[in-house]
Amino acid sequence: MRRKLVAGNWKMHGTRESAEKLVAAIVADFPTHCDVAVFPPFPYLVPLIEQHGAKLAFGAQDCSEHDDGAYTGDVSASMLKDTGCRYVLAGHSERRQYHHETDALIACKVVKALEHGLTPILCVGESLEEHDAGRTVDVVQRQLGKVIEHCGIAVFERVIVAYEPVWAIGTGRTASPEKAQSVHALLRSQLAQADAKIANSTRILYGGSVKPDNAAELFAENDIDGGLIGGASLKAPDFLAICAAAH
């Protein structure tokens, strides 16, 4: 049985004060029936982890593919580990789109995260254009395939996958549970072609306009092992309601 994970990706939102209030509210009503993690902007990670890291798991929204060196503006996986982060996102669609991250680069980031003891959450998903052209399967299989090819299947004992259709992110347009399930099943069968046992244990999260009113039906699907939540993770009652739906 795969334990569900609900992860809140705050993206570039909020202030230090709002971040502290949000985490305090989550911790005060902490769900124990599923795993929970939040991904605040970099500057808020240290104070939040110092205060709440014993109870709540934290992750970063990105890491460098390098160990250290002259890479202005970048943050390494070892630094994140050092601050007490447990997770890191790799290849979020906003990184792919606005920072031109390629499948090969993302695979390198997954390697660095694992080398430094972080759990990477590998994000895959098709754009609206790709979706409308019927290319969903091609795109997500290429994105996942690149990491399998570069890192090997064994890493998926630790890597978490998140399917986030780009057309559903921040749009209020969610993939139907059936549609999301079909893509999740496809990703799992791609993993299973390399190793059925690992595929069965790999968690595959869904992300894209998950809200309190649609979370339960998404999480009820066989291959949906939790959610990667954007907008709704910025409001404690909504985030906690989504966690409650993750049995």
Per CB under 6 A, 99 contacts ligand 13P: no
Cβ partners under 8 Å of residue 153, min gap 6: 191, 194, 195, 198
Q: Which range binds ligand 13P by CB under 6 A, 40-48, 150-158, 175-183, 202-210?
A: 202-210
Crossing angle (nearest 10°) for helices 16-28 and 42-52? 40
Per CB under 6 A, 165 contacts ligand 13P: no
Phi/psi region, residue 107 (left: phi>0; alpha: psi -120 to 50; beta: rest), is: alpha
- Is the CB of 49 or the CB of 229 nearer to ligand 13P? 229
d(CA 129, CA 179): 17
- Is the CB of 113 or the CB of 232 nearer to ligand 13P? 232
* Binding residue for ligand 13P, selected from 102, 170, 176, 220, defined by CB under 6 A: 170
Length of the chain: 247
Question: What's the token pair of residue 238?
Answer: 């909504």
Per CB under 6 A, 128 contacts ligand 13P: no
* Binding residue for ligand 13P, selected from 119, 136, 202, 209, defined by CB under 6 A: 209
Q: Which residues sit at the interface with ligand 13P, rule CB under 6 A? A: 9, 92, 164, 169-170, 207-210, 228-232
Q: State the catalytic residues.
A: 92, 164
